[in-house]
Amino acid sequence: MLSIGQVAERTGLSVHTLRFYEREGLLLTPVRRGPGGRRVYGEDDLEWLAMCVNLRATGMPLPEIRRYAELVRQGSGTEDERLRLLREHQERVREQIEALGASLERITRKVRAYSGQASCEPGGNGR
Amino acid sequence: MLSIGQVAERTGLSVHTLRFYEREGLLLTPVRRGPGGRRVYGEDDLEWLAMCVNLRATGMPLPEIRRYAELVRQGSGTEDERLRLLREHQERVREQIEALGASLERITRKVRAYSGQASCEPGGNGR
DNA sequence: CTAGGATCTAGAGCCGACTCTAGGTCAACG
DNA sequence: CGTTGACCTAGAGTCGGCTCTAGATCCTAG
């Protein structure tokens, strides 16, 4: 049973962001409240938030995470669609990684041209 | 000798973005103008823009690209710093790729749990 | 008591990177 | 000759994702 501050620490999100995500409907359930109306989080919330952090870290937009949360909330019967959603995202992330790798390589070529004993390439403008 | 529209096509940037980048000081020289004050781009501009696209694609912020452009404009003597800038960026991109890979793996685990003959993991909440 | 610190809500503000609008110029085509 | 269509400028608007503010509540320690 954790306070919002503790959850912030463990997830790496700010308390502001945690409240923001809640408003945005990213959580599976309206967060339970303790005395004085304070939020109380459980292990399950923490796990879910960790998943959200992963999805965000890989560039999934908030509306899509919300969609995923909705599916989970609706319970069994939506597994197929959840799986589809995740797999599509996986694919996008793989493409993202590939694209980054390709750009990185091009940059690396430029770096080599600079550090440049062999500034050989025609078109390798050292400028 | 290309018009802004042609450059947009070849770089994948919009004409709006090309003008925007120019205002932001990302280009090496104020773009030459043809009759009627129209922008005229050469091969060199195209090459530089391609580099900019690479840098952006790997997440370099505009101010840092501007910085790089400044160094290039200042001509020789700044090569060391250019190299440093690029290498730091390279490092960040590598980290970025690694982080993406790690997140992807975590997502993949969740996917496996879903498609899940073996929902074995303690903590693999299928929820 | 009281002062500090964490929390609460509703709502405003910010930042980066575009993206678009309005109003105008110009060349070419039918 | 008039109407497209590509281009021009200055400046406003958008969007996603936070991030912060103000003003209130509550708990704890000194």
Tokens of A1: 């049973």
Q: Strand C nucleotides below 7 A of a protein CB?
A: 6-9, 16-21, 25-27
Q: Which residues, listed in sequence order, are joined to residue B33 by a DSSP beta bridge?
A: B39
- pLDDT band at residue A75 under the 50/70/90 scheme: very high
| Contact status of B44 with chain A (Cβ, < 8 Å) | yes
Are the C-beta atoms of A86 and B107 separated by less than 8 Å? yes
Looking at CA atoms only, how far is residue B20 from chain A in angstroms?
Answer: 22
- pLDDT above 80 (res B116): no
Separation between the CA of B51 and the C1’ of D5 (whole angstroms):
30
**Mean pLDDT, rounded, of chain A:** 92
Confidence label for B120 from pLDDT (cuts 50, 70 and 90)? very low
- The pLDDT of residue B114 is 81
Instruction: Show the tokens assigned to A26.
Output: 């990213």
Q: Is residue B90 less than 8 Å (CB to CB) from chain A?
A: yes
**What's the rounded mean pLDDT across residues A11-20?**
98
Nucleotide showing the shortest C1' distance to residue B39 CA: D7
The pLDDT score that the predictor gives to residue A115 is 83
How large is the average pLDDT for residues B92-96? 98
Our measurement of CA A123 to C1' D20, in angstroms, reads: 49
For residue B118, what pLDDT is reported?
47
pLDDT at A125 over 80: no
Show the tokens assigned to B77.
């003597």
- Which residue in the set B57, B72, B111 is minimally distant from A103, CB to CB? B57
Class of domain B4-114: mainly alpha
Return the structure tokens found at A2. 């954790």
Taking the CA of residue A61 and the C1' sugar atom of nucleotide C24, their distance in angstroms comes to 40
Q: Which CATH architecture has domain A4-115?
A: Orthogonal Bundle (1.10)
**Cα A5 to Cα B39: distance, rounded to the nearest angstrom:** 54
Flag whether residue B100 sits within 8 Å of chain A, measured between CB atoms: yes
Give mean pLDDT, residues A56-72. Answer: 98
Q: Where are the alpha helices (DSSP H) in chain A?
A: 4-11, 15-23, 43-57, 62-74, 79-115
**Interval B40-90: pLDDT, tens:** 999 999 999 999 999 999 999 999 999 999 999 999 999 999 999 999 999
pLDDT of residue A116: 72
pLDDT range class, residue B127, cuts 50, 70, 90: very low
Q: Look over chain B and give the mean of its residue pLDDT values, rounded to a whole number.
A: 92
The percent of residues in chain B predicted with pLDDT above 70, rounded, is 91
Q: Identify whether the C-beta of residue A96 lies closer than 8 Å to the C-beta of residue A103.
A: no
Say yes or no to pLDDT of A127 above 50: no
